[in-house]
Amino acid sequence: MKKTPLAAPAAAPCKADARYPKRELRGVWIATTQNIDWPSKAGLGADRQKAEFVKILDSAAKRNMNAVFVQVRPASDAIYKSSLEPWSQYLTGTAGKDPGWDPLPFLIEESHKRGMEFHAWFNPYRASYGDSTAKLPATHPARQHPDWTIKFGGRLYYNPGLPAVREHVTKVITDVVDRYDIDGVHFDDYFYPYPVAGAKFDDTAAFKKYAEGKKLAEWRRDNVNTLIAEVDKAVHGARPHVKFGISPFGIWRNKAQDPTGSSTAGMSAYDSIYADARAWIKAGTVDYVLPQLYWPRGFKVADYTTLARWWADEVKGSGVHLYIGQGLYRVGAKDDKAWTKPGELAAQVGVNRQFKPIKGEVYFSAKQLLTNPLGAIDRVAKTYYARPALLPIIKKLGGEAPSAPAGLKAGGTTLSWKPADRARAYAVYQVPQQGKDCHTTDARNLVAIVTSPTYTAKAAGTYLVTSLDRLQHESDAVKVKTG
């Protein structure tokens, strides 16, 4: 009887190298409020504003970052052309004044050009940094609806207890999702205002009208939860691929208030600003949470490692992604010895890598990306971001891999291929001369993520190219030799 030759044994899979995660979110917050990051001051011309934004993006790209979180609505105003809210004063210096161009398409396009996701960051309830509606532009919703507002601590806030407020906020966000090619909608940690000594947030009338027997704190949390559920539904109803996430204050609750809280002793977001991140995770009304852990390791009141572990446990099995907000702005601060050490920030990223549910970091904020205090962000980049990374896939948003690049060829060390249908970017890997092709396992061989169908290699060798859709689902690889 003729023997059938045995098939060659399948190649042993690569063991993932933890130093080079295949997928990891690496982002930076770009704050427009009070000209923190961009534009550097009000009243600059469009060309100067563009140049400043590009400089931030290039600084992020140099460090292999792949997402920006840009504040498009600082205080019921707009850094884009809106029929619902006035132009932001941080563009021109005068609230309501047309800057002569719509910055948002440019900001998005330049981010996408560098393979970065663009998350539009909205502040839901802040109406004005002053407390007078009379000083606001005539088109400002708080001036048109003073009954929506509450004066508190010298500022003006929308009352989260009013259905009309929730409707307006959701409408503003849906308008941006409909008209601009954004990748995400983002809220920061401002819900009910942070406590001010001696000040009362007077929402008594709304509470009496809408509480339906709930206690005040419960009702307030419910108002926030309702807005978040409504925004989640509106965003995904308009464009299913757009991510919606929130960056809560770093402490949900302390163990002293709730045995399931963290072993910390700081302000509780649940009790002080009525933000219940656990409820959003459980309800699935966010795609990701990005808690702001702006404390160092070993800090008694709020230890970084303790909180990273708590949040990692909180999202397990939920399908909600977890990224960590890193306090880059704290580096060099003299009020805590830990922050005077150049390696503290990198050590925190090292902690993140120990917890599987943590899928990346976002840094506050862009200004320090440029100034690089104590060389700390360069240390992070050198130690942890030596290779590019694809974005983590949020399964419930759908999407699928595009077709593989066709017609891949090499002319010298320049690779080129035909644009693939539905591809927004392409990943390029260099296959090692010795050793395995590990491109499906980790990023050790990933040399670039490019947005045009061409790449100039630094050296001759064997390369693989894959197509990526907008959510970075990845196609099969095609191979080519250069040189």
Does one domain contain both 445 and 388?
A: no
pLDDT, average across residues 345-354: 98
3-state SS class at 202: coil
Say how far apart CA 209 and CA 204 lie, in whole Å.
9
- Domain residues for the domain of 416 are 401-481
Residue that is last in its domain, among 334, 361, 396? 396
pLDDT exceeds 90 at position 4 = no
**Residue 3 within any structural domain of the chain:** no
Quick one: 118 and 154 in the same domain? yes
Q: What is the percent of the chain where pLDDT is above 70?
A: 98
In a domain, 33, yes or no: yes
Using the 3D structure, point to which of 396, 411, 436 is the last residue of a domain.
396
User: What's the mean pLDDT when you consider all of the chain?
Assistant: 96
Looking at residue 2, what is its pLDDT?
47
Domain boundary pick from 349, 365, 396: 396
Task: Please report where in the chains the tokens 């292999």 appear, as a residue.
Answer: 64
| 465 and 421 both lie in a single domain | yes
Question: In this predicted structure, what is the pLDDT of residue 216?
Answer: 98
As for how many domains the chain has, the answer is: 2
In a shared domain, residues 444 and 348: no
Q: Read off the pTM.
A: 0.97
Residue 120: DSSP 8-state: E
Judgement on whether residues 410 and 319 belong to the same structural domain of the protein: no
Instruction: Quick: pLDDT tens for 408-432.
Output: 999 999 999 999 999 999 999 999 9
**Do 192 and 143 fall into the same domain?**
yes
pLDDT at 435: 78
pLDDT in the model for residue 8: 46
Residue range 53-82: mean pLDDT, rounded: 98
Within 10 Å of residue 384's Cβ, how many Cβ atoms?
22
Res 50: pLDDT: 98
Q: Is residue 9 part of a domain?
A: no
Residue 142 pLDDT: 98
Please report whether residue 60 resides in a domain.
yes
Local confidence band at 254 (pLDDT 50, 70, 90 cut-offs): very high
**Is residue 353 located within the same domain as residue 472?**
no
Q: 483 falls in which pLDDT band (50, 70, 90)?
A: confident
Do 132 and 242 lie in a common domain?
A: yes
Which pLDDT score, from 0 to 100, does residue 205 have? 98
Which CATH number is 460's domain given? 2.60.40.10
Query: Can you give the CATH number for the domain in which 326 is found?
Result: 3.20.20.80
- Within-domain flag for 341: yes
Average pLDDT over residues 331-340: 96
> Is the pLDDT score of 1 beyond 90?
no
pLDDT above 70: residue 7: no
Do residues 180 and 292 both lie within one domain?
Answer: yes
The verdict on 469 and 428 lying in the same domain is yes
The answer to the question of residue 8 being in a domain is no
* Rounded mean pLDDT, 65-94: 98
The pLDDT, as a whole number, for residue 344 is 98
The verdict on residue 11 lying in a domain is no
Domain contains 107: yes
| pLDDT band (50, 70, 90) for residue 447 | very high
pLDDT computed for residue 442 by the predictor: 97
Whole-number pLDDT of residue 10: 54
Domain identity same for 359 and 413: no
Is it the case that residue 434 has pLDDT exceeding 90? no
Residues 405 and 392 both lie in one domain: no
Residue 13 pLDDT = 85
What is the predicted pLDDT for the residue at 11? Answer: 59
